């Protein structure tokens, strides 16, 4: 797929309206009446719950790459946290990410970085892409699970329920910051892994694509920015392989392992232990 052909793909107006609405409502946080330090604190707490525990730990390392296993009850909690990030539901998210790794930076990669920063960051989501047709093929291990199906089907209603809870706890400031501002933050930080880490940084391993290690993306995404390491060793639970490559998510997995909650933890060959 070339830049020209990508621009000819039909626009997905449902997604465009969805994204525009979230971003526009988030701007209401600029009004003094919608500001409170409690609301800001809530937004950053939910950024950790949904971005770190949900997307990074749950959707990505646990489900997509099977880097470790946890008891089913904890797996469902992490998947639920990821669903609260409102990035398309667990089944579609996992399927598209597995496709990305299989075809990284080639024509069949949903967010091929060769098509430019904008395309890999969020442009691909605003079009009807053929990769969606491949999702069932790459999610056979989770597609039949009733809980995953529930999260996939009712992602928006789950978010609305959270919004109602936040409204009763702190009014509109909690809703604006805890839902809309937080969603925008987690959206773009997650998308930087698709865009920035395929443009900026350094390569420490051969991965046959444009993936790079980018320290500032790692900082924003709890360790996901060590992306070249990850593409070289996709199933490793640890992305920050050098001692100075800080990986908060790997530290979280270590805590879960020490508690007996994380098992079958997979590591890059040089990091494997008995």
pTM above 0.85, yes or no: yes
pLDDT tens sequence across 114-144: 999 999 999 999 999 999 999 999 999 999 9
pLDDT at res. 3? 42
| Helical axes 146-153 vs 90-102, angle rounded to 10° | 100
Cβ atoms 178, 117 nearer than 8 A:
no
Q: Are 50 and 186 in contact (CB under 8 A)?
A: yes
Q: Tens digits of per-residue pLDDT, 45-68?
A: 999 999 999 999 999 999 999 999
Residue 227: pLDDT over 80: yes
Euclidean distance between CA atoms 117 and 32, whole angstroms = 34
User: Mean pLDDT in the chain?
Assistant: 95
For the segment 170-221, what is each residue's pLDDT rounded down to a tens digit? 999 999 999 999 999 999 999 999 999 999 999 999 999 999 999 999 999 9
**Residue 127 pairs with which residues in a beta bridge?**
11
Q: Give the pair of three-digit tokens for residue 110.
A: 């949903």
**Six-digit token string for 80:** 């639920």
């Amino acid at each position: 797929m070339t830049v020209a052909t990508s621009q000819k793909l039909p626009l997905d107006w449902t997604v465009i309206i969805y994204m525009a609405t979230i971003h526009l409502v988030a701007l209401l946080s600029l009004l003094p009446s919608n500001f409170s330090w409690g609301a800001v604190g809530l937004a950053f707490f939910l950024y950790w719950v949904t971005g770190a525990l949900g997307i990074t730990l749950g959707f990505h390392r646990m489900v997509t790459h099977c880097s470790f296993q946890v008891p089913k009850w904890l797996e469902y909690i992490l998947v639920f946290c990821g669903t609260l990030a409102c990035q398309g539901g667990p089944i579609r998210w996992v399927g598209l990410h597995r496709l990305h790794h299989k075809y990284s930076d080639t024509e069949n990669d949903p967010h091929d970085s060769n098509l430019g920063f904008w395309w890999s960051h969020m442009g691909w989501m605003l079009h009807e892409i053929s990769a969606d047709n491949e999702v069932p093929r790459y999610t056979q291990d989770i597609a039949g699970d009733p809980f995953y199906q529930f999260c996939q089907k009712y992602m928006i209603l789950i978010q609305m329920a959270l919004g109602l809870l936040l409204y009763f706890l702190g009014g509109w400031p909690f809703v604006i910051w805890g839902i809309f501002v937080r969603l925008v933050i987690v959206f773009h930080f997650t998308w930087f892994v698709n865009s920035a880490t395929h443009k900026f940084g350094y390569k420490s391993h051969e991965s046959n694509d444009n993936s790079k290690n980018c320290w500032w993306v790692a900082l924003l995404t709890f360790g996901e920015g060590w992306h070249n390491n990850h593409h070289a060793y996709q199933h490793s639970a640890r992305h920050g392989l050098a001692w100075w490559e800080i990986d908060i998510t790997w530290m979280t997995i270590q805590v879960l392992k020490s508690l007996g909650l994380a098992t079958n933890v997979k590591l890059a060959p040089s990091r494997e232990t008995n």
